[in-house]
Amino acid sequence: MQVRRYYIPGNHDRLYLHDSKLAAGILEALGATPVPAALGGPHAFRSEDHGVIARHGHQWDAWNFEAHEPRQHVDEIPAEAYGLLPIGDVITTELAARLPYAVYWRLASDARTKSIADDVYEKLIAIEDVRPLHTVVQWVLDEGHRLADHLELGGAGAQGNADEVRGLVRRALDAVLKEIIGKFMEIPFVRGWQRKHTRFGHLLDEAHLLNDVGLAARLLDLDAARGVLRLYDASQKLSSGEDQVAKGAGREPLGVGTKYERIRYCVYGHTHEFRHEPLRVDARAREHVYFNSGTWRGRVGRTRDQHGFVGYKDIAYLVFYRDDEDTLKEAGQKGLSYEAWHGLMLKRPRETAKG
């Protein structure tokens, strides 16, 4: 059986779009090809035989797509817009990716914490799996301090009081985070992005959020910054729902008389969160369904009370069948079919006594 792999670039794949040699290397490593224009490419895959259209989905995310426009249909986005730098890339490189290294070097330079610097670093790199992106500051504050409280000190405990060492780790986390946020807010691109995206009368939009978190962290304290983030999330849930990507899927022109009349299933990724959501039933009684393909890597998600995070492993896969492909359908059944499977796994190490 022939297997064809198509590559759809996402929000962190801008260099793929800018560098042909890099793109060729990625495609060779994956054994993949770009989606041909006849199938909707390069930023989507469409199969009318299977009733499916698939995109990465970041087009609906204001943090991760610079040309984001809620009223604009995704197919109307010009090709050059995919090469623009979104603020999410800067947050990832200048905040999320920088923080574990900065904390490591701070701890490694102090004789009292040098022996645990590697252990703290290994735990902090889980920041890469934190979703949604804007919660990384809160994750550092909540989980960073919990990490410090549960460190297995070993040799470090022999050098001094264990509680003192944990206090040093907490202070290092806070100091590094404040320093990084301060430098982040002074980046010319960030300042320009804020000016461009600030909408008067929208006090809790993304540009105001960045400004308020930066001011709170630098002029007040990190708990104030955490409060701003929680207020932002509460406003998003009240005003526009919890998942902008899912809302974007609901805008896809599926159904009788639309551009994608033969398409019934819309597949996105991007959020790393598996989802299966019926959208509508059209005039011919055909169901339209949105899927998010989730992720095959670890995830760190925030708790509903917004006071903590839980890390776990996640796996999902989707299968769409033509009428002649699904061998499990009962005799006499005709039409498209699909399977969606999702699994989670969490294994915690044995708890150890503090101190």
Residue 236 and residue 284 in one domain:
no
CA-to-CA distance for 104 and 305, rounded, in angstroms?
30
Q: Which two structure tokens, joined as six digits, stand for 245?
A: 């990507």
Whether residue 207 sits in one domain with residue 99: yes
Where among 216, 240, 264 does a domain terminate? 240
pLDDT at 217: 79
Name residue 173's amino acid: L
Whether residue 44 is found in the same domain as residue 61: yes
Of 205, 240, 275, the one marking the end of a domain is 240
The whole-angstrom distance between residue 77's C-alpha and the CA centroid of its chain comes to 21
* 150 and 283 part of one domain: no
pLDDT, residue 71, reads 55
Q: Would you write out the chain's pLDDT as a tens digit for each of its 355 residues? A: 788 999 999 998 989 999 999 999 999 999 999 999 999 999 999 999 999 999 999 999 988 999 876 556 788 888 899 999 999 999 999 988 999 999 999 999 999 889 889 989 998 998 888 887 777 877 887 777 787 777 766 554 444 577 888 889 889 988 998 899 999 999 999 999 999 888 765 556 788 788 888 878 776 677 777 777 776 766 665 444 468 889 889 989 888 888 888 999 999 999 999 999 999 998 888 899 999 999 888 888 888 877 788 888 899 999 999 988 887 776 566 678 899 999 999 876 655 544 4
User: How far apart, in Å, are the Cα atoms of 167 and each of 110, 151, 170?
Assistant: 13, 11, 5
Q: Please state, in angstroms and rounded to a whole number, the distance separating the CA atoms of residues 259 and 309.
A: 41
Q: What is the pLDDT of residue 165?
A: 85
pTM here is: 0.84
CA distance 288 to 52: 10
* Whether residue 232 is found in the same domain as residue 98: yes
d(CA 128, CA 159): 32
289, HSE (Cβ side, Cα atoms, 13 Å): 18
Instruction: Specify the length of the chain in residues.
Output: 355
Query: 18 Cβ partners below 8 Å, 6+ apart?
Result: 83
Question: Alpha-carbon distance 275 to 272, whole Å?
Answer: 9
The residue from 196, 219, 240 where one domain ends is 240
Q: What is the pLDDT of residue 238?
A: 46
Pair (279, 214) in one structural domain: no
User: What is the extent of the structural domain holding 178?
Assistant: 87-240
**Helix 162-185 vs helix 222-240: angle between axes, to the nearest 10 degrees?**
60
Give me the helices (H) in the chain, please: 14-18, 20-30, 87-91, 98-108, 117-124, 136-149, 155-159, 162-185, 188-197, 206-219, 222-240, 244-249
Residue 26 is assigned to a structural domain of this protein: no
What pLDDT is recorded for position 109? 94
322 SS3 class: coil
Nearest in space to 103 (alpha carbons), one of 127, 74, 81, 70: 127
Residue 135 lies in a domain: yes
DSSP labels, 279-311: EEE-TTS-EEEEEE---SSEEEEE-TTSS-EEE
- DSSP letter for 260, please: B
Q: Structural domain tally of the chain?
A: 2
User: What distance separates the 2 farthest-apart alpha carbons in the chain?
Assistant: 75
* Cβ-contact 137, 177 below 8 angstroms: yes
Same domain for 95 and 234, yes or no, is: yes
3-state secondary structure 22-68: HHHHHHHHHCCEECCHHHCCCCEEEECCCCEEEECCHHHCCCCCCCC
Q: Let me know: does 289 contact 243? Beta carbons within 8 Å.
A: no
pLDDT of residue 130: 85
Distance CA 287, CA 51 (A): 11
Output the six-digit token pair for 33: 């090809």
